[in-house]
Structure 1
Amino acid sequence: MSERPRLTVLSGPSGVGKSTVVAHMRKVHPEVWLSVSATTRHPRPGEKHGVQYYFVSDEEFDKLVANGDLLEWAEFSGNRYGTPRKAVQERLENGEPVLLEIDLQGARLVRQSMPDAQLVFLAPPSWDELVRRLTGRGTEPPEVIERRLEAAKTELAAESEFDSTLVNTSVEDVARELLALMQVSD
């Protein structure tokens, strides 16, 4: 009898490549269930309700919070994002590996509400590489980049709070290491 899968939380600084690693991993192992967050922001072109996010009104989000239906939630740029608790628990009870890709604040909240969750920190190969990734997008004004870099320093300092660290030198390698931590057989 193998152990029941644990919830795995992937976190790390902005720009480290979390979503790229997750997308690659899910292409190779579609059975890994990635939790879909609820958000109060409006869909961007091409986004579908229930696929990228569950798009909800402020009132609906207030209800989710009040009823304790979210494992964690946070606010960014005037919008709220949260992880629905029920879907995560159902998948885990069915023995499916569950992955959450969230920020540091969310990871800390999950640790409080599900102490047995496995927290994995995705680190950049170096500070210079992270700076390059954050500035290289070329889509944001300097003050936004400055804020992101400040936030990244804080996020990097939290690495010791995590159960394990993976260094993102190669998307394929990190995806493989993450699957091994989740005990998903190749």
Structure 2
Amino acid sequence: GQPLAPADYQRLSAQLGRIRKIDANGLKNLESELKSRGQLAQGTLSALLESLRPPSLVNIAVQPATPTPSPISTVSKPAAVVPQILPSTLPQPVTSAAVATSPDPCAQAGLAGSGRVCFDRLQDGQRGPLLVVIPGIAGGKPYALSRAEITVNDFNAFCNATHQCEPVALAYSYAGQLP
């Protein structure tokens, strides 16, 4: 990718350092999840950030992948700091959109190739878009595909339920029905 602006690079580097201090295991799990999906070719978020370092900051060191303990780092932070950092900086894995306690509704026997529809339930209880299960090629694993175009309202519901994206502001109420 393109190098970041120096201010953006420094802000992201500081956020990554804070997240690492607050929840190192959660960060490792996130990196592992992203790597398994092929979405983190660099292996770690630190390496990804390093690959986006602006040329003007080449001589400035990135925060280490494993923080070194120091007397200052053992002092606990006030609890008020955590809510300010976590919602805006920790991406949720895509799998968090569906309720984890129920089996995959699109994995039911007989759905693949039948033309019948299924849907996921979002965490807030709303129903996701209608999906059709397509049989895999040559006995491959079946997959679910949206039956129709996703509307702006569908997208906004997903964003509100998962906090993985920003909902689209609508100038008119009928605009939510547009793809």
Normalised-by-shorter TM-score class: under 0.3
Higher-Rg structure is: 2
Larger relative contact order (Cα-Cα within 8 Å, sequence gap ≥ 6)? 1
**Structure number with higher strand proportion:** 1
- TM-score w.r.t. length of structure 2: 0.26
> Normalization by structure 1: what TM-score?
0.25
